[in-house]
Copies of this chain bind each other. A is one copy, B any other.
């Protein structure tokens, strides 16, 4: 049961995926928390701060059922940031988690998903709860401790019904925190 002011995360509109064999959707990920990060490969703040933070998030939460998704939201220098350049970028910067190219819309510089979330720019991030609600959305990069705490809180939240049978033990070891519902991740 969502709180009265719950805002559900709009679905992604994607023209191309990298780092995943099959396209993903928020609908299909319901029951798992999602960390959605929006970036552009020529955005200095993204490259210097956000992408390194994503790699740290990938490491710390590798054992949990958190789903990290990158969204390449090109709203300037479109010719300079084509998918072929993005592919080389992902290779060089060693991002492991799935990355989606936000769908371009004719007649607009702003791609579709970026419009739906009303993102102010890059880097931005959106933390989505197990129930699909937006828990937090921010333009810029937040302090690592706060990010770690937020994601852990999302992981610790009551899972949806279908994961009721999951273990309730929380385990943090070797710099990684496994969620109480990590069995969900195996489904």
Contact = CB atoms under 8 A, between A and B. Distances in A.
A149 B179 CA distance: 10
Interface string A136-154: 1000001111111111110
Q: How many copies does the complex hold?
A: 4
A146 B176 contact: yes
Given A42-B92, A85-B80, A145 B142 contact: no
A22 interface: no
A175 B143 contact: yes
Interface residues of A, number: 52
A54 to B, nearest CB: 10
A-B pairs, top 8 by smallest CB distance, nearest first, are A148-B148, A144-B144, A80-B88, A152-B152, A145-B148, A77-B88, A156-B156, A149-B152
A152 B144 contact: no
